[in-house]
C-alpha cells in the first residue's frame, strides 16, 4: 500500500510555491511535482488542499487536479504491486510520467510493445546472473514474436490487445501450436514462458494487462528431455577409430565436445589465447559464466594433430550439413 501526501516547501510568505506529491511505500519515498502552485496562506495543511477562498481563484481546478493525481498514483501502484515484484523509485516515477502524459510511451499497442521489448533487450540485465541478456535469449523473444504473427494471420478474429488476452486466447494459441505447428510440449512451454515474460514487463510498466497470463491457461509444463550421451568406453572407442582428412577433423570436433563439455555456441571461441596454467578459461556465451576446463591428454592430442589449434567447428559443421 502506498501513502500519498501533498506538501508545500514553506508555510511563510505570500508568493505562490510549488505543491509536491510525496509517495511512501516499503521504506521508499518519492517526491513528485504536481505542476501546481499556491500561496502558503491559502494552503490547508490538514486537508492538504487549497482553501476555498476568493484570494485563490483557481482553487477548485487545483484541488481537482490533485484529486486525480492521487487517484492515478494509487491505481498505478496497485497495478504494479500485483506483479509481486519490488517497486523501485525509477519504475514508479516512469509509470507516473506516462500516466500524466509528461513522457510519451515508446509503444502504443501490443505489437509495438513487443518490438520495443525486443529492441530494448540488449540493454537489460538478467536479475539472476547480473549480466546482460545473451543473444540466444533475445533470439527466443524474436522467435515467439514470429510465432504470434503466424497465429494472428491464421486465426481470423483473434484479438491482440493487452486486455483481450484471456483464457480463450491462450487456449486457442495452445491449439495452434499443438495441432497446426505440431510443436512438442517443451517448445510450447518455451513460447508461453517468453509471452508471459513480455506481458509481465508490460504489467510492471503500468500497462493494463489481462491477468489471465498469470494463470494455468498461459503455461505448459515442460517434459523431461531424453539425453543421449557417450560414456568413457564410448569415447575410448571413438579415439581408436581410424580416420583421415575431413573425417579426422570431424572426429576431433566430436572429441573436443566430449572433453570440454561446452555448448556448440562456445566451440567457436576456442583458441590458444584462452590457454592458461590451469587449463582453458573462458566465459560461456549463453550464461556469461566463467569456466575452467582441465587440459587433459585427449585435448593435448587434438591440439598436437592440428598444429596447436582446435579444428574450425563452423567449417566442419558446413561439411557435415552437405
Helix, strand or coil for residue 137?
helix
Read off the C-alpha cell for 61.
481546478
Q: Is the pLDDT of residue 163 over 70?
A: yes
Using CA atoms, how far apart are residues 145 and 139, in angstroms rounded to an integer? 10
- The domain spans of the chain are 3-99, 110-218, 232-321
pLDDT tens-digit map of 220-243: 988 887 777 889 999 999 989 998
Given a contact cutoff of 8 angstroms between Cβ atoms, the answer to whether 24 and 52 are in contact is no
Is the whole model's pTM more than 0.75, yes or no? no
pLDDT tens-digit map of 170-219: 999 999 999 999 999 999 999 999 999 999 999 888 788 999 999 999 99
Exposed/middle/buried for residue 167 (C-beta within 10 Å: 0-12, 13-18, 19+): middle
Query: Residues with Cβ < 8 Å from 123, sequence gap 6 or more?
Result: 132
Q: What is the mean pLDDT of the chain?
A: 88
pLDDT at 319: 52
- How many secondary structure helices (H) and strands (E) does the chain include? 11, 8
pLDDT at 83: 60
Q: Is the pLDDT of residue 305 over 80?
A: yes
pLDDT tens-digit map of 75-115: 989 888 766 668 889 989 988 998 888 888 878 899 999 99
Read off the C-alpha cell for 82.
500485483
Q: Which H or E run contains 59?
A: helix 59-81
Amino acid at each position: 500500500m502506498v501513502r500519498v501526501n501533498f506538501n508545500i516547501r514553506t508555510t511563510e510568505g505570500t508568493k505562490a510555491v510549488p505543491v509536491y506529491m510525496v509517495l511512501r511505500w516499503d521504506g521508499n519515498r518519492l517526491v513528485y511535482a504536481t505542476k501546481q502552485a499556491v500561496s502558503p496562506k491559502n494552503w490547508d495543511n490538514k486537508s492538504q488542499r487549497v482553501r476555498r477562498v476568493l484570494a485563490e481563484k483557481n482553487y477548485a481546478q487545483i484541488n481537482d487536479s490533485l484529486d486525480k493525481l492521487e487517484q492515478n498514483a494509487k491505481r498505478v501502484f496497485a497495478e504494479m504491486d500485483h506483479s509481486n515484484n519490488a517497486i523501485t523509485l525509477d519504475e514508479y516515477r516512469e509509470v507516473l510520467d506516462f500516466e500524466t502524459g509528461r513522457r510519451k510511451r515508446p509503444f502504443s499497442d501490443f505489437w509495438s510493445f513487443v518490438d520495443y521489448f525486443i529492441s530494448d533487450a540488449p540493454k537489460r540485465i538478467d536479475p539472476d546472473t547480473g549480466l546482460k541478456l545473451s543473444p540466444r535469449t533475445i533470439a527466443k523473444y524474436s522467435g515467439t514474436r514470429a510465432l504470434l504473427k503466424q497465429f494472428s494471420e491464421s486465426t481470423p478474429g483473434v484479438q491482440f490487445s493487452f486486455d483481450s488476452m484471456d483464457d480463450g486466447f491462450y487456449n486457442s494459441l495452445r491449439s495452434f501450436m499443438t495441432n497446426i505447428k505440431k510443436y512438442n510440449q517443451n517448445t510450447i512451454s518455451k513460447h508461453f514462458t517468453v509471452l508471459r515474460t513480455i506481458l509481465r514487463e508490460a504489467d510492471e510498466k503500468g500497462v493494463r494487462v489481462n491477468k489471465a497470463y498469470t494463470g494455468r491457461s498461459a503455461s505448459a509444463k515442460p517434459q523431461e528431455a531424453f539425453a543421449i550421451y557417450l560414456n568413457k568406453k564410448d569415447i575410448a572407442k571413438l579415439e581408436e577409430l581410424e580416420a583421415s582428412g575431413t573425417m579426422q577433423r570431424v572426429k576431433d570436433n566430436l572429441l573436443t565436445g566430449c572433453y570440454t563439455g561446452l555448448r556448440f555456441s562456445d566451440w567457436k571461441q576456442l583458441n590458444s589465447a584462452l590457454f592458461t596454467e590451469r587449463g582453458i578459461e573462458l566465459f560461456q556465451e549463453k550464461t556469461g559464466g566463467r569456466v575452467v576446463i582441465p587440459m587433459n591428454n585427449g585435448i593435448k592430442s587434438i591440439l598436437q594433430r592440428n598444429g596447436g589449434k582446435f579444428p574450425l567447428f563452423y567449417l566442419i559443421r558446413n561439411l557435415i550439413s552437405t
